[in-house]
Amino acid sequence: MLDPIEHLARDDKWYLGAGDGTLFAPTYPAWLDTPGYWDEATVYQYAFAPLFTVTVLDAAGREIPARATSRRWTPADLTVSYRLESGITATEVRTVHPGGVFVSEWRFAAFEPVRVHLVAWTAQDGASVPMGEASWTNGAVCFPRVLSDRRQQPLRVRAELACVGEAASWAASRSEKSAPQPFWRHTPFVEQWRAGGLPRRVRDEGIAPDGLFYAAVHRTVDIGYQGSSAVFAMKIVADDPALPVQDSPRSVRPTHGTIAGASRRRWHAWFERVPQLRCSDPYLETYYYYRWYGLHLNATAAGQGHHRWPSMCEGIGFFHQPISYSAQCHARELRWLNDPSHARGVLRTFFAHQREDGSLHGRIYANHLTGTDYYHADWGGALMALDAAWPDDAFIAELYPAMARFAEWMVRTRDADGTGMFDVVDQYETGQEYMSRYQAVDPDADRYGWENRLRLKGIDVTVYAYVLFRTLERCAARAGGDAAHWKHLATRTRDAVRDNMWDADREMFSDVHPQTGMRTRVKAAVCFYPYFTDIVDESHLRGLRQSLLDQKQFWTQFPVPSSSLDDPLFSAEAEWKGKRHVCPWNGRTWPMTNSHLVEALAAASRIGAHSHSLREQTGELIKRFVRMMFHDGDLRRPNCFEHYNPFTGRASVYRGIDDYQHSWVADLILQYAAGVRPNDHGVTVDPFPLGLEQLTLTGVRVRGRTLEVRIVGDKFTVIAGGERIESTLGEAVELEG
């Protein structure tokens, strides 16, 4: 049986987390080969740096340099090997645990018995550590710190630095500014070291708080023939009256085994909750489990409802700067867990922060990078996908009022002129900038800032609104709503897309200029979004084929670029008018868009008598999409960056943001490679042709039943309960209920 933790092991990654919003995932780490965690961690959205490092001293108190010789990462731990002098070797295992606990676990070996001293220490920005509040309490140096995010919203946290077990000595004191680097020679502890230990005192005083606040704990280690060990940890918890009381404190001591072993057990428990996949395509198989790693790292805390901050939601997002989270994407993927609580929690938590006017806090939704609101997303599709797998009238009735208020706000503010087409009022509402779509409204938009209020009748936003109306129409009877009202809005929007946004001459959908009412005719990947809805019919299929599948427009080696290759401002190298940008939408391939377009191709393949061939293109797009997200095609190095070069597949590594979660991939593999698609009446099992020699999927729970799918060549078998059904690719199996 495949072990996902070991399957994903590699030597070039460092992200660690426990699924509760506290992570170690620095964007540009400089100190990975230095013991401990000197690069920044993140408490929710707030950077905390440094945490701590570990210094090894000899019996006389002189530093013994530790030179890193190797690193090995898994989702559960980061293991670093060191070589010291006099034949001493050491292994450090770094793990992150629930409750904001960062652990450094050490094991030493030596040719002969020797005594060493280990000191875990930190150097914090003194001005952010309130004076007079540090203490030695319950075996740890404890101190508060006030963090600040990009909007200068403060968050007070409390940090505890400890030696697990019992410290031999400890110290804390303030210092004027020096180099905030993990070098023992810069610390005041060099001068304070006496008789094999620190002075066992906390001095939190001085004439001013600026400078650095140093804290340290010490353990004496006698390395015998059987080796020896030591464990250090720093715990960081929110300490703010605006936040709810956290869960009861957790001990860092494992009930049995090592602390690193506890991390592995938690991660194994997570992977056991997902459907198990084995596949002859190693890219699909590897990426499937890699995506579930990313989901736990980023999304499960939201699904557990851990982040309810009613008075601070303008200033606090779910997760940290280097990793981004998307509620509508994760609801789709988390629905495949063996229970629906996490997926429901994602939507429940997001809509819990709805404003009084019905609008949504886009920053809580996703955009921690800019601190601005963008919230246009397929909320209706996400809810229907979840409900198809786990139907629940009570949950629909719970979420319906909030989604209805949001829909009414959309109609009131984004379709004030009653056209049935919806406005993008600035690029931040979609998260797209540096794109010809907006230049078509104002050619000078990029000169004075994309955040200015430029209005565009956006095809993507209009499609999202349409799906939302259809969802509310379908849910109204179950939630006591007015189905006729939503049907009217959906019909009006559908007709507007067909009549005003469809360019019959060019056979492509388009944005519309809000003043002139004319189609902009800018060719962008979002122009294909209507194809994942019932807005389109057979008359629109030729346009899909001649544009999306055209190698001179969108069907590149790694499709689908955000703008057409013949766009005058197209750039595969992330450049906009000669300058490389971090979020360019004028030609890069974005996983977020690809997720939508796989759905669009798959839906289009079910329209009309001659659309069946689109199934092969759907399978091809999935394979190219997944293969793109491996560094240089290396099976050992999956990734998920914001965007990629459509010709080479090179990721935006310069951006520093891996495991970007604004897409769904495991969901696509389950729906189309394995073919499991729950619906209102039961489950359709209909694998698309991906050229697989074999695929086995077990442990799928949907609509109250557990399924197994086995594909061998062009044949597949569905096992549901005591029923066994055999079929051929292209001949769907329908399971009722």
Q: What is the pLDDT of residues 310-339, one digit of tens each?
A: 333 333 233 333 445 578 899 999 999 999
Range of the domain at 715: 674-737
Q: Is there a domain that residue 309 lies in? A: no
Q: What confidence score (pLDDT) does residue 245 get?
A: 45
Q: At what angle do helices 459-479 and 379-389 cross, to 10 degrees?
A: 40
Residue 611 has pLDDT above 70, yes or no: yes
Q: How far apart are CA 227 and CA 234, in angstroms?
A: 24
Q: Is there a domain that residue 295 lies in? A: no
**DSSP bridge pairs for 173:** 214
Q: Is there a domain that residue 480 lies in? A: no
Pairing of strands 723-728, 502-503: unpaired
User: If you average pLDDT over residues 6-12, what whole number do you get?
Assistant: 98
Q: Where are the alpha helices (DSSP H) in 15-98?
A: none
Q: What confidence score (pLDDT) does residue 594 get?
A: 97
Out of 268, 283, 308, a domain closes at: 268
Q: How far apart are CA 192 and CA 199, in angstroms?
A: 7
Q: How far apart are CA 129 and CA 161, in angstroms?
A: 14
Q: Is there a domain that residue 694 lies in? A: yes
Q: Is there a domain that residue 183 lies in? A: yes
Q: Is there a domain that residue 291 lies in? A: no
Report pTM.
0.94
Q: Are the C-beta atoms of residues 657 and 27 closer than 8 Å to each other?
A: yes
Is residue 737 very low, low, confident or very high in pLDDT (cuts 50, 70, 90)? confident
Q: What is the pLDDT of residues 530-559, one digit of tens each?
A: 999 999 999 999 999 999 999 999 999 999
Q: Where are the alpha helices (DSSP H) in 253-281?
A: 259-271
Residue 444 has pLDDT above 90, yes or no: no
Out of 249, 268, 287, a domain closes at: 268
Half-sphere exposure of 432 (CA within 13 A, CB side): 27
Q: What confidence score (pLDDT) does residue 242 get?
A: 59
**Closest residue by Cα to residue 366 from 438, 302, 446, 288:** 302
Q: How far apart are CA 519 and CA 699, in angstroms?
A: 48
Q: How far apart are CA 685 and CA 334, in angstroms?
A: 19
Residue 134 has pLDDT above 60, yes or no: yes
Read off the tokens for 643.
Answer: 């965007």
Into how many domains does the chain fold? Answer: 2
Q: What confidence score (pLDDT) does residue 451 get?
A: 56
Read off the tokens for 207.
Answer: 């004439």
Q: How many Cβ atoms are within 10 Å of 175's Cβ, its own excluded?
A: 15
Q: Is there a domain that residue 73 lies in? A: yes
Q: Is there a domain that residue 61 lies in? A: yes
Q: What confidence score (pLDDT) does residue 452 get?
A: 53
Q: What is the pLDDT of residues 227-270, one digit of tens each?
A: 899 999 999 999 866 555 444 445 555 555 689 999 999 999 99
Out of 224, 252, 268, a domain closes at: 268
Residue 66 has pLDDT above 50, yes or no: yes
Is residue 371 very low, low, confident or very high in pLDDT (cuts 50, 70, 90)? very low
What is the amino acid identity at position 668?
Answer: L
User: If you average pLDDT over residues 704-712, what whole number do you get?
Assistant: 96
Q: What is the pLDDT of residues 633-677, one digit of tens each?
A: 999 999 999 999 999 999 999 999 999 988 999 999 999 999 999
**What letter does residue 672 receive in the DSSP assignment?**
I
Q: What is the pLDDT of residues 156-169, one digit of tens each?
A: 999 999 999 899 99
Residue 609 has pLDDT above 90, yes or no: no
Q: What is the pLDDT of residues 282-300, one digit of tens each?
A: 999 999 999 999 999 986 6
Residue 523 has pLDDT above 90, yes or no: yes
